[in-house]
Amino acid sequence: MNSLLGALAWLTDPVNWSGSRGIPVRLLEHLGITGIAVLVAALIAVSLGLYIGHTGRLSFLVVSTTGALRALPTLGLLVLFALWLGIGLGPVIIVLVVLAIPPLLAGAYAGVESVDRSTIDAARAMGMTEWQILTRVEIPLGLPIIVGGLRSAVLQVVATATIAAYLPIGGLGRYIFDYLTLRRFEPVFAGAILVTLLALVLEGVFALLQRLAVPRGVRILQGSSAARGGIGRAERIQLAAGSLDGDAPPGPPGDRPDPVPAAPTSSHPTQ
């Protein structure tokens, strides 16, 4: 309890919010390391996941690669690459990229794979190329799952980026590693609180992005199909045709209400 109160006192001390070792600087360092690692991992994993999900080839790599990479010890890899490449930012980025690849690869593959096959067949029947099917049908419909993979990767990396201070490089982990050797536990608790708060904020941001990633046309179809008991084949064809712009596609002719005839008007003037 005393350590927690001491950590709160340390966090509210203006001295710790200024200078090259202040909380804003360490926070930007932490976000920078996280952003670089996730970006590099996304260039590798998302591209590969989209290809595998669209073509169906090499799908066994998703299970084997994600399982193998998740089993690797993060700190052990950091020490190994530090001995090989030397002390610097490079070993940290490599380790975090390895950590971020599994959720990104799985999310991209699962997002494309989750798209209804009849929707893709309808798109092909309409003359769409494979690239158009991927970019206009599969990615928009699978985007929530793809963003979910990105969300998982960011949270894992932002929590593990504290190991960058082990070399030492920077980030919020410096408060944990530097002051732990000095047995000053208030800054250690404060660093842990900052990392936790940062992870919670990013969790909320990506949860919102994941909800917004659902195309408006899909939300409209889901709402209308809930009342009718499902999405029909005609609606899937219209969705594949590009009705993701937010306009509700018309349903089959049988689902439309008959027009109400206008009331007849009398040709005689009223008295």
pLDDT tens digits along 41-84: 999 999 999 999 999 888 888 878 888 888 888 888 898 999 99
227/183 same-domain check: no
59/193 same-domain check: yes
46/149 same-domain check: yes
152/40 same-domain check: yes
Checking if the pLDDT of 242 tops 80, the result is no
Reduced to 3 states (helix: H, G, I; strand: E, B; else coil), residue 59 is coil
23/134 same-domain check: yes
Q: Give which of 234, 265, 193 is closest to 23, Cα–Cα.
A: 193
* Cβ atoms < 10 Å from Cβ of 224: 15
108-152 residue pLDDT tens: 999 999 998 898 999 999 999 999 999 999 999 999 999 999 999
Q: Give which of 50, 55, 59, 173 is closest to 112, Cα–Cα.
A: 50
72/121 same-domain check: yes
In a domain, 266, yes or no: no
Q: Burial level of 163, CB count in 10 A (0-12/13-18/19+)?
A: buried
**Total structural domains in the chain?**
2
Checking if the pLDDT of 178 tops 60, the result is yes
In a domain, 4, yes or no: no
Give CA angle at 231 (229, 236), nearest 5°.
170
Q: Domain span at residue 220?
A: 216-252
Give the whole-number percent of the chain exceeding pLDDT 70.
79
In a domain, 1, yes or no: no
Task: Report residue 249's pLDDT band, with 50, 70 and 90 as the boundaries.
Answer: very low
Question: Which pLDDT belongs to residue 38?
Answer: 97
83/188 same-domain check: yes
Entry pTM: 0.78
In a domain, 175, yes or no: yes
CATH no. for residue 153?
Answer: 1.10.3720.10
Task: Report residue 230's pLDDT band, with 50, 70 and 90 as the boundaries.
Answer: low
In a domain, 257, yes or no: no
159/246 same-domain check: no
Q: Burial level of 159, CB count in 10 A (0-12/13-18/19+)?
A: middle
Classify the C-alpha dihedral 14-16-21-23 as positive or negative. Answer: negative
194/139 same-domain check: yes
CA trace torsion 97, 59, 110, 148 (10° rounding): -10
